[in-house]
């Protein structure tokens, strides 16, 4: 069996963070309007509380941890390849839910060759190419990869040491 070394994981989301929070704000505004109308029918002098924490929680909470629908797991395969597994929720329709079960959709979502003689700069480019390859495929399905941490660290990793 060939050597397999886990390198890093990236989260896949059903929509961008900004779109999620726009939808959340619309939900909060609609809910507050509906609640105010109900209160006005009982006592027009009362106002709904200004704290939106309950409405944010009822909508689904924070985007970062609650909207994940998949994972990309990058790993070294053999002596000269970077590969990626793709794991996704097993539901047919991707929507907000508290119950998620992830299944492996692909064990070789991407394949990027590298050489042990490559410099750290070349290896960082290889990692970026692998992530970009996955991003192109997932964008066709309207999926979003959170690459913030990856972008901030990829150029500073001693890839030659990690992959040797």
Global confidence as pTM: 0.81
The pLDDT tens digits for 7-19 are 999 999 988 999 9
Closest CA to 138 of 16, 39, 33, 53: 16
Q: List, edge to edge, every strand of the sheet that includes 81-89.
A: 102-113, 81-89, 68-77, 4-13, 144-145
Domain ranges within the chain, ordered by starting residue? 4-19+62-163
Closest CA to 102 of 68, 62, 138: 68
What are the CA-CA distances from residue 83 to residues 54, 66, 78, 86, 122 (Å)? 42, 26, 10, 10, 16
Tokens of 15: 């929509």
The pLDDT tens digits for 8-53 are 999 999 889 999 999 999 998 988 888 888 878 877 777 776 778 8
3-state secondary structure of 151: helix
The pLDDT assigned to 137 comes to: 95
The pLDDT tens digits for 82-129 are 999 999 998 777 666 667 888 999 988 999 999 989 999 999 999 999
**Cβ–Cβ under 8 Å, residues 86 and 105:** yes
């Amino acid at each position: 069996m060939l050597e397999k070394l886990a390198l890093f994981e990236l989260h896949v989301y059903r929509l961008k963070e900004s779109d999620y929070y726009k939808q959340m704000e619309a939900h909060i505004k609609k809910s507050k309007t509906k609640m105010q109308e109900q209160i006005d029918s009982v006592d027009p002098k009362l106002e709904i509380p200004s704290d939106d924490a309950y409405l944010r929680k009822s909508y689904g909470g924070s985007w970062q941890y609650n909207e994940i629908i998949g994972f990309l797991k990058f790993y070294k395969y053999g002596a000269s390849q970077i590969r990626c597994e793709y794991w996704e929720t097993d539901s047919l329709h991707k929507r907000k839910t508290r119950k998620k079960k992830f299944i492996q959709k692909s064990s070789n979502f991407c394949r990027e060759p590298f050489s042990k003689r490559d410099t750290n700069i070349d290896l960082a480019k290889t990692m970026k190419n692998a992530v970009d390859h996955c991003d192109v495929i997932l964008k066709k399905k309207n999926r979003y990869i959170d690459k913030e941490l990856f972008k901030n660290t990829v150029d500073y990793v001693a890839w030659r040491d990690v992959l040797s």
